[in-house]
Structure 1
Amino acid sequence: MKALNDLYIFVETAKHGSFSKAAHGLEVTPAAISAAIKRLETQLDVALFIRSTRSLRLTSEGEMLLDKATIALKTIQEGIDQISQTQGEIGGNIVMSAPSDFGRNLLLGWLNEFSEIYPNITVSLELADSVSNLYNQPIDIAIRYGVPPDSRLVALPLCTRNRRIACATPTYLDKRPPIREPNDLIEHNCLCFQLTNTMDNHWSFMREGDSETVIVKGHFSANDGDAVHRWALMGKGVIYKSILDTAHDLKEQRLKPLLLDWKTEPCPIYMVCVDRRVLNPTTHALHQFLRTKCEQHLQDAEQFLTEHYYSQMA
């Protein structure tokens, strides 16, 4: 910003035709004015002013720079004014990323509702299960499952109560041995999510202080959570996914919940950004909207699962 300030001092000095008058107008010392002009002249390797004891006038290079600098500074000031005017308004473009399953099956519809409430907002959405590098990529916010391992990131909770659930289609389960205990999954085709070299095939369950982790296997795995979900709906096997992702299919009985007497792994979901300055009124409005949607969606799913569990016990 020092170079920009020096350019502003140059324009004001040319306008006043005097170091001392420019210093008075800018409320700085003449020495500060002289130092700023000298820095510019050194950087450009030209003389900007012809100085004498009684007068100060621009060189031809100084006149050329004055014309361009005046336009540039005016444009910059207009941009600053525009930012100041819109800081308290809800609008503008949000560039965001989200997991594929959550993004396609929930977020798209919710963003449509959000845009109807706030028509001045536009959204650029990237759907991928790979973790976007928010420091290198032009993404304002990311929706992520799990607590971000990078403590420098700002993480706003969307639904911390969310957990995973094991489920499969009724047609698949009718043809296979019953699943009453976590270890029964060993005899089943389990559909796994794989990211880079990590396979999500260690499924954990807890009950009455005991914990069981089953290493599952199956014929299908994918680096896309939505693909794994779709295989399950085709009756290809058992999945162990977020309740948020599977809630619609559970309630519509396309998928049947399993092992409801066991507690499953937590699967919290957050809205993440690299800097709190990204959290303007627009992103705050989006966070509150998505948090409400996630909580309502999970609450409906939990009510269904509770009723389903007790109906089985009856």
Structure 2
Amino acid sequence: MVRRNLNDLQYYVTVGREGSFTRAASLLGVTQSALSQAIGGLEARLKIRLLTRTTRSVSPTAAGERLLNAIGHRFDEIEAELDELTRIRDKPAGTVRITCGEHVLRTTLLPKLTPLLRDYPDINVEFDVNYGFRDIVADRFDAGVRLGDTIDKDMIAVPIGLQLRMAVAASPAYFATRPPPKTPRDLVNHNCINQRMQTAGGLYVWDFERRGRKQNVRVNGQLIFNTSPGMVDAAVAGLGIAFLPEEEFAPHIEEGHSVRVLDDWCAPFPGYYLYYPSRRQPSPAF
């Protein structure tokens, strides 16, 4: 029986999944040249091309896709079995990968995980800060954190925080030049700071509710961001009105750098949930 180099096969699986020699080399802890040589050697031994390479992307050929589907999950099974061995240790070990937004990472996940990480020094946590919706199964995450009403029904979802409320806020300097809005519809006459949604690509529609009555408002303004810290900074600087979870504005409101309006139109809604696949056995570390 001809012995195969399992390292080369693992290298190939990583490149095939990542679609990039650069990302794969970083994950594997090897140089791009060493990785390229290993894949080239594997193709030479198999006498078939596994990857189509261009200057911008890497993708499996038909043969490469077949090999990836045939052996990729087996490397996953080996990793899972090695993780299972930690069950017989005094304390679990391993890496847990979580995709989440920046706000919930800062306000909820890190505060809650800090004492756990001190008690379990052999557990590592990798955070992927991403405002789009990642496929946690395909991208091999252990879990994700999102708002409760945005999670697929086939996931197990566990609440990790209280209900949230949105806040409409701007600086005192901004409202010194324009009257504060009295209803959500008044926002169309203001310079509002928009947010570009990474998944759909459109601008976030500001949604309000008071006594069961809902209003959705498409606002306009000079600034558009795809993350919240810049929106907060712009609002505090007097560049417009922003609409974000109230925790984002809390310190600025307390210090008088921001003024909150339309408070009675911002109803509580379900907060953040940690979710994970119902069909996959969680690792001991997770």
Fold match by TM threshold 0.5: yes
Partner of 1:271: 274
Whichever structure has more helix as a proportion of its residues is 1
Cα contact 1:190–1:218 (8 A) shared by 2: yes
Cα contact 2:86–2:93 (8 A) shared by 1: no
Find out whether 1:119 has 2:126 as its counterpart: no
Partner of 2:203: 199
Equivalences, count: 206
Cα contact 1:163–1:266 (8 A) shared by 2: yes
Partner of 2:18: none
Find out whether 1:243 has 2:246 as its counterpart: yes
Partner of 1:99: 101
User: Residue 243 of structure 1: CA displacement?
Assistant: 2.5
User: Residue 134 of structure 1: CA displacement?
Assistant: 0.6
Cα contact 1:154–1:276 (8 A) shared by 2: no
Cα contact 2:195–2:225 (8 A) shared by 1: yes
Question: Percent of counterpart pairs with the same letter?
Answer: 24
- Could you tell me which of 159, 162, 166 is aligned with 2:161? 159
Partner of 1:176: 178
State the AA in 2 paired with 1:197.
G
SS at match of 2:232: helix
Partner of 1:214: 217
Structure 1 residues 116 and 235: CA distance shift in structure 2, 3 A = farther
State TM-score, norm by structure 2: 0.61
Give me the whole-angstrom Cα distance separating, in 1, the residues matched to 2:261 and 2:161.
22
For each residue in 1:46-73, what CA deviation from the matched residue of structure 2 results, as whole angstroms up to 9, or x when unmatched?
A: xxxxxxxxxxxxxxxxxxxxxxxxxxxx
Give me the whole-angstrom Cα distance separating, in 2, the residues matched to 1:184 and 1:193.
19
Give me the whole-angstrom Cα distance separating, in 2, the residues matched to 1:208 and 1:229.
28
For each residue in 1:57-111, what CA deviation from the matched residue of structure 2 results, as whole angstroms up to 9, or x when unmatched?
A: xxxxxxxxxxxxxxxxxx99x948724414x845432111111333356645554
Gaps of 5+ in 1: 1-74, 284-314
SS at match of 1:217: coil
SS at match of 1:131: coil
Give me the whole-angstrom Cα distance separating, in 2, the residues matched to 1:135 and 1:80.
17
State the AA in 2 paired with 1:132.
R
- Could you tell me which of 121, 135, 140 is aligned with 2:137? 135
State the AA in 2 paired with 1:180.
K
Cα contact 1:148–1:155 (8 A) shared by 2: no
For each residue in 1:103-162, what CA deviation from the matched residue of structure 2 results, as whole angstroms up to 9, or x when unmatched?
A: 356645554454334433221111111111112112111111242342111111123521
Give me the whole-angstrom Cα distance separating, in 1, the residues matched to 2:136 and 2:263.
37
Partner of 1:82: 85
Gaps of 5+ in 2: 1-77
Deviates more, 1:171-180 or 1:132-141: 171-180
User: Residue 217 of structure 1: CA displacement?
Assistant: 1.1
Structure 1 residues 172 and 113: CA distance shift in structure 2, 3 A = farther
State the AA in 1 paired with 2:195.
F
Partner of 2:147: 145
User: Residue 253 of structure 1: CA displacement?
Assistant: 3.5
Structure 1 residues 81 and 186: CA distance shift in structure 2, 3 A = closer
For each residue in 1:162-183, what CA deviation from the matched residue of structure 2 results, as whole angstroms up to 9, or x when unmatched?
A: 1222112223222322222222
State the AA in 2 paired with 1:259.
L
SS at match of 2:185: helix
SS at match of 1:197: coil
